[in-house]
Amino acid sequence: MAMGVSQDGDEDVPMSDINVTPLVDVMLVLLIIFLIAVPVVLQTVPVELPKVRYEPTTTKPENVNLSVKASGGQCEVYWNLTKVDSKELLDRAVKKLEDQIKAVGGPQNLTEETMPEAHIRADINTPYRCVGGAVFTMQRAGFARVGFISEPPAGSGTTTRL
70-120 tens-digit pLDDT: 888 889 899 988 899 999 999 999 999 999 889 888 888 878 888 888 988
- Residue 79 in domain: yes
Q: Residue 59 pLDDT more than 60?
A: yes
The CATH number of the domain where 94 resides is what? 3.30.420.270
Same-domain pairing of 31 and 89: no
The model's confidence at residue 25, banded by pLDDT at 50, 70 and 90, is very high
Q: Please give the tally of structural domains in the chain.
A: 2
Bigger pLDDT: 72 vs 158 = 72
**Cα–Cα distance, 35 to 74 (Å, whole number):** 53
Q: What confidence score (pLDDT) does residue 12 get?
A: 75
> What is the pTM (predicted TM-score) of this model?
0.59
- Residue 17 in domain: yes
Same-domain pairing of 113 and 78: yes
- Residue 31 in domain: yes
- Residue 47 in domain: no
- DSSP H or E stretch at residue 65: strand 64-71
**Cα–Cα distance, 90 to 84 (Å, whole number):** 10
- Residue 157 in domain: no
The model's confidence at residue 9, banded by pLDDT at 50, 70 and 90, is low
Average pLDDT value for residue range 40-69: 69
Domain coverage including residue 17: 12-41
**Cα–Cα distance, 124 to 92 (Å, whole number):** 25
**Is the distance from CB of 77 to CB of 132 less than 8 angstroms?**
no
Average pLDDT value for residue range 15-32: 88
Average pLDDT value for residue range 112-140: 88
**Is the distance from CB of 138 to CB of 118 less than 8 angstroms?**
yes
CA 31 from chain center: how many Å? 34
- According to DSSP, residue 58 is labeled P
- Residue 55 in domain: no
Q: Residue 39 pLDDT more than 50?
A: yes
Q: Residue 159 pLDDT more than 70?
A: no
Q: What confidence score (pLDDT) does residue 72 get?
A: 84
Q: Residue 162 pLDDT more than 50?
A: no
Same-domain pairing of 68 and 144: yes
